[in-house]
Structure 1
Amino acid sequence: MLTKFNQIIKNLGPGLMYAGAAVGVSHLVSSTKAGAVYGFLLLLFIPLIHVIKYPFYKFGPQYTAITGKNILHGYHALGKWALFTYMGMTLVTMCLIQSAVTIVTASIALKIFGSSLPANYAAIIVLLLAAGVLFFGKYSLLDKVMKVVILTLTVTTIFALLSVLFKAPGGFHEAEAPIFSFGNVKDALFLAAFLGWMPAPMDITVWHSVWSEEANRSSGKQANVKQAMFDFKIGYIGTACLAMCFLALGALVMYGSGEAPSPKGTVFAGQLIELYTDSLGKWAYPVIGVAALATMISTTLTCLDAYPRTLDESVLILKDEKEGNERKSDSKNIYRGFLMLTIIGTIMIFLFFMKSMGQLITIATVVAFVSAPVLALINYLVMNGKTIDQEHKPTPLMKTWSLLSISCLFIFSAWYVWISFIK
């Protein structure tokens, strides 16, 4: 039994890389705040948005399993417009999203170590340390770290939630029934931010495909569709369950307590860790603190790796270079160039454009929300395009599911624009 479990864990790779990128701001921050502010009112939105986005998240690793190449090759096959659209969206959002995940990481670190260093300077230090790891590191290192971090956080989160649920009924805070209105600008903006990065930005569909290709290259063998889909579903379903756990913890521990989620990073980091210590005991503070910090470090690393890596792949595809030492050398230089661009842009945000963690996260998640339907449509066109054999194209059910989901994403985006800028 133990041997079989170890084999399953060993076979997991890109799916846990996906989880490492997804379980971050959307879970630790947004899901917890959703529970703290609205109780369980928004709980059903988590499985709903996962159902809506499922086809497009699935298409990334599925494309690699079918073709042996990452999905950016499919973008290029549609026409340069598709690849340029992805590159343009990435260049616009990468520093903004990177700054959001890094500032959360830095805030948790400051809280744990009790430092009075300004959050933006601490975030710069975290960013540079992460960049150092990626500058000299390899995919295999990220893969190993992710398995430990994600499994540790999952176990501690489920254990904390069970501890809260088994408390005496009288131990929960009493409060009036939560109120949410789609016509209320504040509620609508929160929902857009909440769903925009749930479970992660749509860019992660491309990241997953690129990681899958890299995993195949590292292992020396290509995962088949069945293996790739099992790996994907573990990460996708697992992160959905974790998001609901975080929302439930926020609802059970913070909602109705009179303590509102703080917009200040270090203060909210303390509130987050207290969610666990209130249910598990003070002894859990260092354990949970380290787990939360490790989770956000993994998110910082995976995001910082994904943006340069996918842009690197895009440039190489456009140059139509052949595999070989020349390509590998050129790839390393391009990757490091985009890595430096991401670092410099993110540092500029920390020094000159950061007002508060809350505003930064909201902007990043809403940008992800609005751009999601565009990338979803491109993924759909790729899977129904000329690079996929007829036998591997989506089934009629999956096509209908995809088209309905794309329609929902466009409607959600239009609704957000209307309520934010027109109403």
Structure 2
Amino acid sequence: MKEERQLHTTLDQPAGVKKTSIIGPGLIVAATGVGAGDLVAALVAGTNYGLVFLWAIMIGAILKFVLNEGVGRWHLISGKTILEGWHLMGKWATGYFGVYSVIWGFVYGAAGTASCALAASALFPQLSLTAWAIIHGILGLVLVWSGQYKRFEHVMNILIGIMFITVVGAAILVLPQLGDVMGTAVPALPKGSLIYALGLIGGVGGSLTMASYGYWLEENKWKGSSFLSAVRYDSAVAYFVTALFTISLLVLGAGLLFGTDVTISGEKGLVDFAGILGNELHPAVRYLFLVGFWAASFTSVLGVWNGVPYLFADFIRTVRHQRIPNEELSKSKAYRFYVLWLTFPPMLLHIIGKPVALIIAYGALGAIFMPFLAITLLYLLNKKKYVGAIDRGQKWSNVGLAVSILLFIVLAVNELMNLF
């Protein structure tokens, strides 16, 4: 009987992994993908449509779970990184990522720190937006430069806790004011809102850093198919929390602004909304929300500063055929070069503004990354020569990936049409 219990434990959960430790890498991926733009989108949805789009947030969380689980499963079953998988598909896939990562890193280095600066400046207006942006970029560099993943993970968990407690806490305070708005919770698709709804689905915790998940699994020593259940649990918890966070923002917009003439526009609108919270509830709630806004912005920056350099370092290792172990990537020259690339060149954009041509190129490349990720995962996870016997759950994964591909292609086409 004792031996049977030991065998059962081994099958359910990898040796040496505590239940509480199976909450970590996925939550970091999801939190990194939730930036100021997602906060704005959810608030605007609540302001314009009440609680109608609860269904869109939940579908978005499910699809991101499928993508995140797919990235993790590829790493565990194939024993290869996602960059190595792309390279197996041809030089076109590796080349696309190389070009995209350089342009994306330059522009995001400015955009991400600018979002942090907006929140920090609202809390402490003594410093300018440019000064706060530079401070956050350098702070991100300092926290990841040594390559100590556990320190990064600890800081991220603290920030995630702050953003969750502050925003969800504010939403709980607003619940009594929902009143008749509760009647809008019936799933529907108001006229002219299809693209908006698809955008809300596509924005629930999704970004380039989803491809970094495998490297964070490596840092946690999660290797081999025995960790599949752990990855699924981890991803499920991560996107459940993300959905709850996004729904809280929907509730805030619906509870305070639905049916009014007030509009939320851009990241500056988050600062304005914090003022509305302060007036409607209590001045302290204004600061509560601004702290949550800052934490959400800085988790995105810090997650990118740590996660995307893994991808770039792996890209350099792959194209140069270098023999650098996965666990040494965070200490490689290529990793540190990309951290510097995220931090210092984008500072110029805070001073001279964002050149139109660069923004167009960034938007065009960025619009097709998520469908690129979904398409490549669908291909790689169904090739027996890479993953061996196809997992029984692959059928449902294929359905989720196929739906994701259709969704992201529609969003990509819409984005490109808006750009050009």
TM-score, scaled relative to structure 2: 0.80
Q: Deviations over 1:188-218 (max 9, x none)?
A: 5x667655543222x233111221122217x
CA-CA distance at 1:262 after TM superposition: 4.6
Corresponding position of 1:48: 59
3-state DSSP of counterpart to 1:216? coil
Q: 1:368/1:306 Cα in 2 relative to 1: closer, same or farther (>3 Å)? A: same
Shift of residue 84 of structure 1?
A: 2.2
Cα deviation digits, residues 233-258 of structure 1 (max 9, x gap) = 11122212211221221122133443
Segments of 5+ residues of structure 2 without an aligned counterpart are 1-16, 183-188
Q: Does residue 30 of structure 1 match 2:31?
A: no
Q: Map of 1:13-412 to 2, 5 A cutoff?
A: 13-115=24-126, 117=128, 119-136=129-146, 138-167=148-177, 169=179, 181=192, 194=200, 197-201=203-207, 203-216=208-221, 224-263=227-266, 265=267, 267-274=268-275, 276-277=277-278, 281-323=282-324, 328=328, 331-354=331-354, 368-385=366-383, 386-392=385-391, 395-412=394-411
- Aligned-pair CA distance for 1:8: 4.0
Q: CA separation in 2, counterparts of 1:122 and 1:343?
A: 13
- Contact 1:193–1:366, Cα closer than 8 Å, also in 2: no
Change (3 A) 1:234 1:167: same
Alignment CA distance shift 1:397-1:343 (3 Å): same
TM-superposed deviation, 1:68: 4.2
Work out the CA distance in 1 between the residues paired with 2:401 and 2:325. 37
State the Cα deviation string for residues 345-364 of structure 1 (Å, max 9, x = none): 422322222499xxx99997
Aligned length: 398
Deviation at 1:374, TM superposition (A): 2.0
The 1:168/1:235 distance shift into structure 2, 3 A limit, reads: closer
Q: Give, in angstroms, the shift of residue 330 of structure 1.
A: 9.4
Contact conserved, 1:56 with 1:380, CA < 8 A, in 2? no
- Distance in 1, matches of 2:337 and 2:210, equals 23
TM-score when normalising by structure 1: 0.80
Q: What displacement does 1:312 show?
A: 0.4
Give secondary structure in 2 for the equivalent of 1:199.
coil
For residues 329 and 25 of structure 2, the distance between their equivalents in structure 1, rounded to whole angstroms, comes to 24
1:393 Cα shift?
7.3
1:300/1:361 Cα in 2 relative to 1: closer, same or farther (>3 Å)?
farther
Amino acid in the other structure paired with 1:253: L
- Checking the alignment, whether the CA contact within 8 Å between 2:72 and 2:214 is kept in structure 1 is yes
Instruction: Return the alpha-carbon distance in structure 1 between the equivalents of residues 399 and 200 of structure 2.
Output: 26
* Separation of aligned partners in 2, 1:19 and 1:112: 25
Evaluate the alpha carbon distance shift between residue 322 and residue 11 of structure 1 in structure 2; reply closer, same or farther with a 3 A threshold.
Answer: same
| Distance verdict in 2 for CA 1:276–1:11, change over 3 Å | farther
The verdict on how the C-alpha distance between 1:275 and 1:214 changes in structure 2, with shifts beyond 3 A counting, is farther
Paired AA for residue 292 in structure 1: F
The aligned amino acid for 2:111 is: A
Question: 1:400 and 1:38 mapped to 2: Cα distance?
Answer: 29
Which string of whole-angstrom CA distances, capped at 9 and with x for unpartnered residues, describes residues 309-363 of structure 1? 21001211333333569x948952111112222223422322222499xxx9999
Q: Give the distance between the partners of 1:410 and 1:332, measured in 2 at CA.
A: 35
SS at match of 1:259: coil
Relative distance call for 1:333 and 1:191 in structure 2 (3 A) is same
Change (3 A) 1:420 1:48: farther
Structure 1: tracts of 5 or more residues without a match: 1-5, 173-177
- Note if contact 1:193-1:365 (Cα within 8 Å) is conserved in structure 2: no
| 1:175 alignment counterpart | none
**Quick one: distance in 2 between partners of 1:411 and 1:142?**
35
Q: 2:56·2:198 contact (CA, 8 Å) conserved in 1?
A: no
What's the Cα RMSD here? 3.8
Q: Is contact 2:317-2:323 (8 Å) kept?
A: no
Specify the code of the residue in structure 2 equivalent to 1:239.
T
**Does the 8 Å CA contact 1:16/1:146 hold for their aligned counterparts?**
no
Q: Deviations over 1:129-183 (max 9, x none)?
A: 21122223521112112222223332333332222122384899xxxxx97525x
